[in-house]
Structure formats: structure tokens, C-alpha cells
Amino acid sequence: MHLLGCEPDESGAGLAAAAAWIGAKPGAFVYCQYTEKNKTQANSRDQSRLPGNSSLVTDGNSVNVFEYLDYREFLRDFYQQRKATEYGFSYRAFSRRAGLRSTNYLKLVMEGERNLTPEMAHQFARGCGLEARAADYFCELVAFNQSASAAERNRCHQRLSRFKQYRSIHQLDAAQAAYHSHWYTPAIRELAARADFEEDPKWIARTLKPRISAEEAERALGTLVSLGLLARDEQGRLRQAEPLVTTGAGPLGHHIVNYHRAMLERAADALDSVPRDEREISSLTLCVSQDVLLDLKERIREFRRELLQAAELGGDPERVVQVNFQLFPLSEPKETES
């Protein structure tokens, strides 16, 4: 099973609850973005932290900008580290170094109350003492984090991936991109749950709907094996390493957005390509209160867990299916009276 949209808390309790709900075995493979990010950071630093813990630096004197995928997080860690190690460092001191008129602009940006223009990003890089490629990376990171559309985020992410330091530190980012960039990669992982699954790329290609090429199937198999999502059993056959894969929210959400977009396209194609008795596509348009809206979201989450449990307990797997959930507004909220 492949669960998208499960948002764990910082302790991971949310994931544990989801796994327990569907009866997943202890140690089920949790493909959570912030967890993978921290694994990457742990490999490149002497000290690491999970979300919510203390600041993390490369050594006692500096913060490595290439280790970050969120420029505000970098600025917060930079400020905390300099405040602790440099006498007289303050928001005012940073503003002088960056050539800023406002003495608390750094604070506003760190707290998400202000964005950075491209020109201002260069000034902030100078204020942080970043030069050459490090300064360029920071400016690209600003553009990535402030992107307004999925297409723009993808373009910015491609520019980030051109930095050698980025590629060496964030190797799992490339793996995440490979896993979520094609709809058929998670589908092949689910297909491996069938008793008659064949490792042959040609068999996989013609079994999926719509069909893909044998080359695409072969590349997807390589991705799944390299990520440890498929592994060989005692008979040497490729099987799911764990029954549950779930992804959590994180700074690389653009990969998940790409996946959702691809699956929405599959749903649209199914209107024409899949017989009505093999699909169920319906919708509701409602006008509800804010309380009911929140209740509907929780009901969807609950139903999603019920479907996972039904799939887990439903006997021998035969067919891969996709179930999408969407709830979004079609109007602005009611204005509150002052």
C-alpha cells in the first residue's frame, strides 16, 4: 500500500497510529520526507536534529547553506549560531552587513512575515557572509521556496540540483524525485504484491494500464530496488519489502504535488479509457460551515484509513487500483464582522 498525504507529528506518532490502524507489521517502511532529510543531514554532519530540536551546524563556527532546502530555516540557524558565538551580533548588525535600512527585516523574513526579492536575496547572502557558489545557491533556494506554481518549483529545483554540493548532500532527494515523478513507479511496487508478479519488464509494461514501455518498467524497478522498496525473498523473487509506504509533509512537497497531478491526469483519462463498471468517479458540490469543512476533512482521513485496512485484510491481491481524494474550496470564505 502506498499512502500519500499522511502528515505525522514531529515524534512520528501519527505514522505509528496509521500503521497500527491498518495492521501493518512493526517496522513497516515509512518513506517520510523529513525523516529521509534528517538521514541525509546525519551523514554529512557530526551533529543532527529532528524537527523541533536545537539548532544544527556543520561545525562550531559555520552553518552550511548547501544542507538546507528551506532558506528561512537556514537563516534561523545562521542567526542562532552567530548570536551564540559572535559578540555583538544582532538583527541591527546583520542589517548593516547586508545593506538593509530596516533593522529587524531579518526577523520578519525568518518568521515568514516577509519574502525576499531577487535583489534582496543577494543582500541577505552578503549579510550571511556567503560568497560565490554558496551565495548563488542561497538565491536559488529563495526562488525555490517562494515559487508560486508547481511548474516554477520544478524549474527551480532543477537549478538547485546543478550544484555539486547539493547533489552530494541530498542524494535521497534525487531518489524521491525518481519515485514520485512517474505514476507507474508506485503502481509497480503495488503490482509486486501479486502472487504471479514477474520481474520481467515486458510483463510489467503490458500489465499496467495504460501500458508503459519495457524501458520505463526496467528503470522503475531499478528505482524501487535502490530505495529498498522492493527486495528479494528467500526464493530470490522481488517482493515488497514492507506492506506500507507512507509519505509525510516536508520541504520537498513539490515531488508529492507532481505525483498528485499525474494521478489526477490518470483519473481524467479513465473517464474515456476505463469502462464504467470498472471505475467509480463521482463528486459533490456543497456549501458548508467552517466546522463542517473541518469535519469533512477528518471523515476523508478516516475513510482513507478504512480503505487501507480493507486492502490489508482483503485476501490475495489481484489488481492495482488508484483511489484519489480531493476537497477544495470553490468560493472565498464568509467575511467576519469586525
DSSP per-residue letters across 52-89: TS----SSSS---GGG-S-HHHHHHHHHHHHHHHSTT-
Q: Residue written as cell 506500507? A: 244
Among 112, 172, 155, 163, residue whose Cα is nearest residue 258: 155
Average pLDDT on 306-331 reads 91
What does residue 145 show for φ and ψ, rounded to 5 degrees?
-70, -25
Q: Do residues 242 and 25 lie in contact, with contact meaning Cβ atoms separated by under 8 Å?
A: yes
- pTM of the predicted structure, to 2 decimals: 0.58
**Lowest mean pLDDT segment, chosen from 9-13, 302-306, 311-315, 325-329:** 9-13
**Predicted confidence (pLDDT) at residue 3 exceeds the cutoff of 80:** no
Cα diameter, the chain:
72
Cβ 223 vs Cβ 176: under 8 Å: no
Q: Using a pLDDT cut of 90, give the percent of the chain over it.
A: 51
51-61 pLDDT, tens digit each: 333 333 333 34
Compute φ and ψ for 230, nearest 5 degrees.
-120, 140
**E strands of the chain, at which residues?**
2-4, 230-232, 238-240, 245-247
- Give the pLDDT score at 8: 40
Domain boundaries, the chain: 2-32+176-283, 70-169
The pairing of strands 230-232 and 238-240 is: antiparallel
How far apart (Å, rounded) are the C-alpha atoms in residues 88 and 82?
9
Q: How confident is the model at residue 338 (pLDDT cuts 50, 70, 90)?
A: low
- Mean pLDDT value of segment 195-224: 95
Cell 507512507 locates to 246
Summarised one tens digit per residue, pLDDT across range 229-277 is: 899 998 989 998 876 666 544 444 667 777 888 899 999 999 999 999 9
- In CATH, the architecture of 70-169 is Orthogonal Bundle (1.10)
